[in-house]
């Protein structure tokens, strides 16, 4: 009996000691455990969002190119959308093959993105620990978990988060090289940089500052590391980078003469003219991808919409402005505090910090002042973790006190609160600077708000919101309730298309931040027709017969409608589907003096016609019904006269 009592006493004592040790461990590692908790919640959020969102505009292009790449086909010219695609999406394509339904295919294809976020979190932790005190690592991880743009692009098949992860790993590897240049560290630095190139071609902006830093490291430390060994280390770095790029592209079509490669950008054309015999130690698919990105960025006119204005060549403040509206206010506040601490503690004098700042300065300068494809904050996403690492490094310098802990806790809480409304839709995040979310399109547009991820479900969402008689994405506003994609209203596709709507009617609601609800009164509709859709007679030489009594059937051909009105009338073209058409078709309608307009099944085009004769040319497949309140109209052969 005494032995049993002693045994029970020992068990109780051991249990109490375990609890005490656990509490002590939690107390000593509270920040680290908090960071782990945030990572777990972020991964759960990523997986849940990946399952709930529909296809974005370019996911099928990433997967399509990777599917072909798995079959040994890496050319890009067959599809303009293949211009910037890289093998980093191959795991996504492999995962998609295990699906038994389109919805499952998309979800499985997105799963590897969660692994990229974990790699980003791990790299951020290690980089911050190398730059600052031990607390800097967990602080940096918590901050990236509060950054909705990093979460958002971890939920879709794209390359921005993989690029961010590889950028952080490259910084980590080159800092290690700076501390002690050696062939082994040079190899790992080159391998990390090569992996960055294999994710996105804009990695070229990171190569220059990093390799310059490596050269400076060899020169500065020549007394400690022999210059010959340093040169070997630099060579090891370059060879490793080239090898990783070649390996990522499957060593396909290596050392092809430039004259045999179809190139279109001015830098590559000039190089080919100067040295057509030159054979670069890089896969042809890598060279053509880099070439097409340069050519497309220079040759295409882009619709850059910011603060309601349209710019064809971008504006210098685009990314700075979007950092201010797409970053949670909590992170903005903590960034400003961190900048103040860094200046006061003179952290900018540390070589490690200088290297990170150089990695930030080059791409930010290029994207702000030279780059023209300003269609999303995501292009500078690889800079965000580096900024947060510097912020965490500065914050870790602050002496730990109850006030400091309470302040950071308040910042974290504010960041969580601001993320909650966008928990399953982080792509559309804007911070509390924009209080009226219905009018966020007046501040920004494009992939900053809508990347097509709700297009497929918008009809269901309209019904779920019980929005009666709503017309979804009509060609122009109609009397009654209209639901428009936010990018259509903002003018991303055609800036002039909904200019009258933007100027005269305010949205009454939004659906998931990607679609806007407009209620148009009869008077407003009449005013729109008068101001923007009034047609004057051009006196076309076409024959007018009796009014149309039957629909016009279009079978991959052209037709025309000749309309004559003796007094001002309204004409309505209604697009329908027939039994001959098994899927939606769009009909292009050209009024003789106007640019073409596109009308899809179930939608209508309205015009106000002044007295006289008018010709409407129809091009497409489907069925069109023409209704004229007064006057006569007929369907005939396409009129080709002057």
pLDDT exceeds 90 at position 590 = no
pLDDT digits (tens, 9 = 90+) for 142-157: 999 999 999 999 999 9
- Residue 592: the pLDDT is 64
- Residue 499: the pLDDT is 92
Round to whole Å and give the CA distance between 303 and 297.
12
C-alpha 154: how far from its chain's center?
11
3-state secondary structure 337-389: HHHHHHHHCCHHHCHHHHHHHHHHHHHHHHHHHCCCCCCCHHHHCCHHHHHHH
pLDDT exceeds 80 at position 588 = no
User: Regarding predicted confidence, which is higher, 589 or 635?
Assistant: 589
Look at 78-82, 128-132, 426-430, 554-558 and tell me which has the smallest mean pLDDT: 554-558
Instruction: Select the highest-mean-pLDDT range: 342-356, 542-556, 625-639.
Output: 342-356
Mean pLDDT of 243-267: 91
Look at 196-200, 477-481, 620-624 and tell me which has the smallest mean pLDDT: 620-624
User: Whole-model pTM?
Assistant: 0.89
Burial group, residue 641, by CB count within 10 angstroms (0-12, 13-18, 19+): exposed
Look at 215-219, 418-422, 570-574 and tell me which has the smallest mean pLDDT: 570-574
pLDDT exceeds 70 at position 579 = no
Mean pLDDT of 229-235: 92
pLDDT digits (tens, 9 = 90+) for 165-202: 999 999 999 999 999 999 999 999 999 999 999 999 99
Is residue 635 within 8 Å of 561, Cβ to Cβ?
yes
- Confidence band of 329 (pLDDT split at 50, 70, 90): very high
As a whole number, the mean pLDDT across the chain is 86
- Confidence band of 5 (pLDDT split at 50, 70, 90): low
Burial group, residue 386, by CB count within 10 angstroms (0-12, 13-18, 19+): buried
- Residue 9: the pLDDT is 65
Tokens representing residue 601 in the block:
């099944």
- Residue 596: the pLDDT is 78
Look at 320-324, 414-418, 499-503, 552-556 and tell me which has the smallest mean pLDDT: 552-556
- Confidence band of 583 (pLDDT split at 50, 70, 90): very low
pLDDT exceeds 90 at position 624 = no
- Residue 541: the pLDDT is 75
Tokens representing residue 96 in the block:
């998609």
Mean pLDDT of 1-12: 61
Mean pLDDT of 524-531: 91
What is the C-alpha R_g of the chain?
30
Mean pLDDT of 597-601: 79
- DSSP string for 438-467: GGGGGT--GGGT-SSTTTTTHHHHHHHTT-
pLDDT exceeds 70 at position 577 = no
> What single-letter DSSP state applies at residue 151?
H
Round to whole Å and give the CA distance between 108 and 99.
7
Look at 165-174, 490-499, 551-560 and tell me which has the smallest mean pLDDT: 551-560
- Confidence band of 477 (pLDDT split at 50, 70, 90): very high
- Residue 639: the pLDDT is 38
- φ, ψ of residue 546 to 5 degrees: the values are -70, 160
Mean pLDDT of 599-618: 83
Mean pLDDT of 263-292: 90
- Residue 455: the pLDDT is 85
Q: How many CA atoms lie within 13 A of 214 on its CB side?
A: 33
pLDDT exceeds 70 at position 136 = yes
- Residue 328: the pLDDT is 97
Look at 14-18, 218-222, 322-326, 581-585 and tell me which has the smallest mean pLDDT: 581-585
- φ, ψ of residue 485 to 5 degrees: the values are -65, 140
User: Regarding predicted confidence, which is higher, 471 or 44?
Assistant: 44
User: Regarding predicted confidence, which is higher, 464 or 511?
Assistant: 511
- Confidence band of 520 (pLDDT split at 50, 70, 90): very high
| Cα pseudo-dihedral 367, 373, 378, 383, rounded to 10 | -10
Look at 52-66, 399-413, 572-586 and tell me which has the smallest mean pLDDT: 572-586
Mean pLDDT of 353-367: 94
User: Regarding predicted confidence, which is higher, 278 or 10?
Assistant: 278
Mean pLDDT of 471-489: 91
**Which residues are registered as beta bridge partners of 562?**
615, 634
Mean pLDDT of 290-296: 89
pLDDT exceeds 60 at position 538 = yes
Parallel, antiparallel or unpaired: strands 480-485 and 515-520: antiparallel
Share of the chain above pLDDT 70, in %: 87
- φ, ψ of residue 24 to 5 degrees: the values are -65, -45
Is residue 458 within 8 Å of 511, Cβ to Cβ?
yes
């Amino acid at each position: 009996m005494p032995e049993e009592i002693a045994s029970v006493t020992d068990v109780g004592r051991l249990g109490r000691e375990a609890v005490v040790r656990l509490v002590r461990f939690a107390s000593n590692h509270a920040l680290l455990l908090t960071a782990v908790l945030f990572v777990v919640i972020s991964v759960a959020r990523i997986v849940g969002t990946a399952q709930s969102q529909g296809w974005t505009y370019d996911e099928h292009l990433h997967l399509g190119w990777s599917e072909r790449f798995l079959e040994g086909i890496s050319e890009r010219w067959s599809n303009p959308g293949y211009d910037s695609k890289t093998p980093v999406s191959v795991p996504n394509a492999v995962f998609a093959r295990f699906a038994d339904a389109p919805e499952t295919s998309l979800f499985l294809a997105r799963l590897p993105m969660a692994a990229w976020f974990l790699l980003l979190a791990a790299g951020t932790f290690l980089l911050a620990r190398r730059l600052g005190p031990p607390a800097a690592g967990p602080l940096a991880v918590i901050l990236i978990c509060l950054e909705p743009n990093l979460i958002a692009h971890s939920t879709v098949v794209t390359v921005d988060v993989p690029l961010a992860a590889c950028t952080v790993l490259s910084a980590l590897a080159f800092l290690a090289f700076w501390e002690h240049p050696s062939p082994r560290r040079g190899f790992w630095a080159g391998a990390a940089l090569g992996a960055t190139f294999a994710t996105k071609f804009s990695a070229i902006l990171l190569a220059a500052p990093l390799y310059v830093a490596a050269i400076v490291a060899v020169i500065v430390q020549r007394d400690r590391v022999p210059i010959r060994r340093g040169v070997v280390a630099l060579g090891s770095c370059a060879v490793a980078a080239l090898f990783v790029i070649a390996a990522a592209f499957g060593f396909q079509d290596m050392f092809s003469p430039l004259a045999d490669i179809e190139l279109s950008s001015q830098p590559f054309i000039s190089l080919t003219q100067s040295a057509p015999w030159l054979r670069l130690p890089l896969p042809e698919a890598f060279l053509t991808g880099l070439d097409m990105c340069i050519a497309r960025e220079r040759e295409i006119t882009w619709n850059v919409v910011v603060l309601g204005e349209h710019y064809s060549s971008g504006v210098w403040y685009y990314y700075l402005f979007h950092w201010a509206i797409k970053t949670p206010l909590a992170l903005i506040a903590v960034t400003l505090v961190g900048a103040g601490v860094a200046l006061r503690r003179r952290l900018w004098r540390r070589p490690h910090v200088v290297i990170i700042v150089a990695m930030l300065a080059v791409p930010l300068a290029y994207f702000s002042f030279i780059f023209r494809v300003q269609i999303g904050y995501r292009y500078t996403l690889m800079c965000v973790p580096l900024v947060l690492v510097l912020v965490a490094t500065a914050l870790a310098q602050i002496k730990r006190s109850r006030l400091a802990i309470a302040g950071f806790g308040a910042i974290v809480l504010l960041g969580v609160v601001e993320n909650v409304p966008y928990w399953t839709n982080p792509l559309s995040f804007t911070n509390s600077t924009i209080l009226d979310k219905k009018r966020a399109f007046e501040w920004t547009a494009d992939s900053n708000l809508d990347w097509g991820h709700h297009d497929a479900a918008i009809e269901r969402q309209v019904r779920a919101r019980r929005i009666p008689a709503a017309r979804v994405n009509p060609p122009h506003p109609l009397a009654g309730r209209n639901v428009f994609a936010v990018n259509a209203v903002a003018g991303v596709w055609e800036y002039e298309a909904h200019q009258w709507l933007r100027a005269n009617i305010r949205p009454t609601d939004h659906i998931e931040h990607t679609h806007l609800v407009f209620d148009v009164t009869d008077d407003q509709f009449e005013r729109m027709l008068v101001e923007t859709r009034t047609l004057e007679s051009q006196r076309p030489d076409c024959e007018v017969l009796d009014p149309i009594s039957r629909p016009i059937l279009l079978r991959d051909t052209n037709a025309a409608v000749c309309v004559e009105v003796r007094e001002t009338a309204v004409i309505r073209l209604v697009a329908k589907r027939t039994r001959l058409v098994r899927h939606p078709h769009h009909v292009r309608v050209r009024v003789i003096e106007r640019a073409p307009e596109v009308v899809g099944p179930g939608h209508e085009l309205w015009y106000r016609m002044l007295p006289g004769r008018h010709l409407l040319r129809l091009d497409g497949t489907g069925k069109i019904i023409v209704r004229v309140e007064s006057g006569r109209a007929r369907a005939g052969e396409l009129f080709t006269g002057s």
